[in-house]
Amino acid sequence: MNETKQIRVAVIGAGERGVYVLGARTAELWKETGITVRLLCDTNPDRLMESKAYLESRYAESGLDLTIDTETDYLRIMDRDDIDVVFVTNYTSAHREPTVAALKAGKRVYLDKPMATSVDDARAMLEAEADSGRSIIMGFTRRYEHSWRTLVGLLRDGRIGTLQTVLLRSVIPYARYLQRWHRSQERSGGALNDKVSHYFDALNWIAESRPVSMNAIGGRSSVFAPDPSAPRRCRECDRHCPYRALPSPQVSEIGSVYRLDPDYRRQDVGIFTRPSWSLAESEDAQIDNCVYAGDTDIIDHALITVCYENGVKASLFWNIFGPSAEDEESIELVGSSGRMRLTRITGVIDIVSDYGESHEILDARGTHFNSSHFGADVELLHAIRHHYHGSEPAANTKDGFESLRMVLATEESIRRDGASISLISTTPTG
Ligand SMILES: NC(=O)c1ccc[n+]([C@@H]2O[C@H](COP(=O)([O-])OP(=O)(O)OC[C@H]3O[C@@H](n4cnc5c(N)ncnc54)[C@H](O)[C@@H]3O)[C@@H](O)[C@H]2O)c1
């Protein structure tokens, strides 16, 4: 390590992202990054105990004998001088309070995306950040993915001339948004906030410009049309269902648990088999709410267009009921002299340049492609270390705020049957 200081982390929200993905990466990388998790905070005591045992065992596998403290109230960790950085990975609607408290306490903050569910929360975090004089690093993982960075590098080098239009296609098998806490618009800001916030940030990064207007159509498809006769949870249901999240006593298709969840399979998260999820009684902690239950208020598809100040135009085609497929997420950039298309799951960029004279297939997977988020989380931990030592992050809260505004503008446009929504009137400070 160049910078030898150990960086001691408290994770607020000891769930999938904070512990089983980012936390697990800290355990694998502690020797090179100096980052270790010293404290886990979660309002769910079962989750807390399970996560502590899991993470301590991951550190032990990596040769570090660590006892990780636990807390149920984030306020109790703020005056501890053995915590340097706080990872905010709890429900999106609860990002604000620990972020503001950590900044006030002089801690560095890693804030996961999406920034918030409301502009009020996002503004409060921006103000606390400005008062503290310490920037927040945000978790827009595509900014750290080798293939996306390669794509943007080629664009900036002029490989396809001047960027004109962008097409982002996301046809993803994410029924989990209807099964987990994301099913509450209030908690998550909906699937749109949880997933499309990534895409808006990526589009802004690629366009290198401010969005000036947007419009969208979308809503709730007929795929998950409410069925009042369906049992409330998978574990109480014996129907054959492609969205089954947990086995029932009657249906022994345990293999189907992961059938539509290639992300979980790839990242070896395995939360479905852990008791604090699989046996959870509180609705927030459950993972097997019926996709046909009528009480969720989130949308599952949208077709969105964005116009940028510099003339770039982007189109986003998104839904969460796609089949698991190799091409489920792709982005195509069209420039004045060529086009490039990245398929995220293969990490391959198909480049046609020089007005069609040249065609190249580029393997842009990078060294850590098989790790979580196609290697982005490994890069992110290195970025968190650099950020702690004073570097500016690749994605900050201004990016988070811009992305949130676009999510809210999309919702407004959908409510108004595709009306064009202006984005030029609001700025992070105004
Ligand atoms: N960067 C990425 O690619 C990425 C990927 C997944 C999730 N996320 C984000 O991470 C966050 C967590 O998502 P997840 O999938 O890990 O959810 P999760 O349910 O697995 O974990 C969240 C945990 O936070 C706890 N919690 C909720 N409110 C709390 C509070 N006030 N104080 C302490 N703990 C609290 C819950 O009990 C739960 O254990 C969300 O904002 C999500 O959008 C980001």
**Residue 257: pLDDT above 90?**
no
Question: Which tops the pLDDT comparison, 298 or 264?
Answer: 298
Task: Record the pTM.
Answer: 0.95
426 vs 318, residue with greater confidence: 318
| Cα–ligand 1 centroid distance for 19 (angstroms) | 10
Contact 48, 42 (CB under 8 A): yes
Residue 255's pLDDT band (cuts 50, 70, 90) = very low
What phi and psi, each to the nearest 5 degrees, are found at residue 146?
-60, -45
**C-beta separation of 136 from 396 below 8 A:** yes
Collapsing DSSP to helix, strand or coil, 215 comes out as: strand
Atom of ligand 1 nearest to the CA of 194: 43
Q: For 408-429, write each residue's pLDDT tens digit.
A: 999 999 999 999 999 997 554 4
Helix-, strand-, coil-residue percentages of the chain, each rounded to 5: 40, 20, 40
75 CA to centre of ligand 1 in angstroms: 17
Q: Which CATH number fits domain 142-224+296-372+394-422: 3.40.190.10, 3.30.360.10, 2.40.50.100, 3.50.50.60?
A: 3.30.360.10
Ligand 1 near 15 CB (within 6 A): yes
pLDDT digits (tens, 9 = 90+) for 342-376: 999 999 999 999 999 999 999 999 999 999 999 99
Q: Is 199 left (phi over 0), alpha (psi -120 to 50) or beta?
A: alpha
**pLDDT value for 178:** 96
- Delimit the domains of the chain by residue range: 7-140, 142-224+296-372+394-422, 234-285
181 lines ligand 1 (CB under 6 A): yes
Q: Is 403 in the pocket of ligand 1 (CB under 6 A)?
A: no
Closest C-alpha to ligand 1, atom 1: 139
Strand partners, 310: none
Please tell us whether the domain made up of 7-140 is placed in CATH 3.30.470.10.
no
Q: How far is the CA of 182 from the centre of ligand 1 (A)?
A: 10
- For β-strands 329-335 and 313-319, DSSP reports them as unpaired
Do the domains 142-224+296-372+394-422 and 7-140 match in fold? no
Contact between 416 and 217 (Cβ < 8 Å): no
